[in-house]
Amino acid sequence: MNIDLLQKNLKEGLSIVGRASSKSSNLPILKNILMDSRNGFLGLSATDLEIGIKWSTLVKVEKEGGIAIPYNSLSSFINFLPNDKINLKEENSNLFIDCKEYKTQIRGVSVDDFPEIPSFSKEKSFIVNSNVLCDSLSQIIDIPSMSKVKPEISGILFSFNEDELKIVATDSYRLAEKKVKVKKEEDGDFSFIIPQRTAREIINIFKEEEKDITVIFGENQILFKVIMDDFDHSKIELTSKIIEGNYPNYESIIPGEYKTQVIINREDFLNKVKAGSVFASKINEVNLHISPEKGEVYLKSGNNDLGNYEAKIEGKSEGEEVKISFNYRFLLDGLTNMKSSEVIFEASNESAPGVLKPVGKSDYIYVVMPIKN
């Protein structure tokens, strides 16, 4: 291998694939990244056997070839270099880096020892704008919690139904569903579950790219890729395993009706819940008292050691009177994940789930279970 490229480019690539390089692994080879140059492109790839990332850029190739290099050393060294032309040359499992006054040699490993990111046959695919996907994922990403018992709900569900993509997350106390606009190629409904970590990396990697992401789904795997601006060649490919199993029938969790509804200013509600959190008991309990007859909504919290809190919230309410308690953190999560200036809160009774929805948009719903009295 013998190639020339700009430091800025290499640095960008390293920061992206570095997300998949394994920090602690019983297999030392995974601490490396693979450099591979052919047909005028340089590809960098890394994997920890759960996800794999490949990044490609156009370079001047003098001689094709490849090498695996320890990620940490390479990446920290490249960061010190000026943004200038770098020459990378592989000889006898050594990488020679030449950039202005800097000359280095790093010991590498043969390409053959590096696990390749597996390819797989496509079953279904769709296209989604990266901003849309990343924003949507950010609204639900923090909800799942690791579960050994039910691995299915530790991930994020992607479910297609009649050309509508819904992404769903739950931790068994609350559940969020977000509708996402996509361009779909295949007909038919399908669904898959991606690990929470994969979703996080998608946000990290693709949020800067204002492009279309092609998502390809196949046997046990999923691939997210964007192509280069000027060439029909993929720029970033993120491959991940998917979680086996069936996602629970989550739709039955979303209440179809309500007995009490109130429309409130989101900022105001958020602020009053935050203030109430100071006084919340050990189990983070805050109590909402909605009485549509009087047109009043109160938020209360209290704890024996500190004292009590009560705030009146302005809002349009209708239906029956209800008193219902929640973990304030769950309320905050739901409220901060919505962007609208007003939100709808719905409830039926003190032991049925509460629902938060943005006003004016029907693409997000947050369902949360109360605290029993």
Name the residues that contact other proteins, by CB under 8 A.
25-28, 47, 49-50, 52, 115-120, 148-150, 153, 170, 172-173, 175, 219-221, 241, 244-250, 252-253, 256, 283, 285, 327, 351, 353, 367, 369-373
| Minimum gap (Å) between residue 42 Cβ and other proteins | 22
| Cα dihedral 288→292→297→301 (10° resolution) | -30
Would you say 27 or 278 has its CB closer to other proteins? 27
Contact 266, 338 (CB under 8 A): yes
Nearest to 5 by CA among 49, 68, 46, 56: 56
Cβ neighbours around 238 below 10 Å, total: 26
Kind plus residue range of the DSSP H or E element containing 38: strand 32-38
Distance of CA 101 to the CA centre of its chain: 41
Which residues make beta-bridge pairs with 313?
Answer: 297
CA–CA separation, 3 vs 40, rounded Å? 9
| Minimum gap (Å) between residue 197 Cβ and other proteins | 14
| Minimum gap (Å) between residue 177 Cβ and other proteins | 13
Would you say 315 or 354 has its CB closer to other proteins? 354
Would you say 47 or 136 has its CB closer to other proteins? 47
Q: What angle do CA 15, 17, 18 make, to 5 degrees?
A: 60
Would you say 112 or 230 has its CB closer to other proteins? 112
Q: Exposure of 282 by Cβ count < 10 A (0-12 exposed, 13-18 middle, 19+ buried)?
A: exposed
| Minimum gap (Å) between residue 175 Cβ and other proteins | 7
Which residues make beta-bridge pairs with 260?
Answer: 319, 347
Would you say 98 or 164 has its CB closer to other proteins? 164
Would you say 47 or 130 has its CB closer to other proteins? 47
| Minimum gap (Å) between residue 103 Cβ and other proteins | 33
| Minimum gap (Å) between residue 207 Cβ and other proteins | 26
Write out the two tokens for 50. 């759960």
Write out the two tokens for 290. 């909605």
Kind plus residue range of the DSSP H or E element containing 276: helix 266-277
Write out the two tokens for 134. 């990343």
Contact 35, 42 (CB under 8 A): yes
| Minimum gap (Å) between residue 147 Cβ and other proteins | 9
Would you say 92 or 304 has its CB closer to other proteins? 304
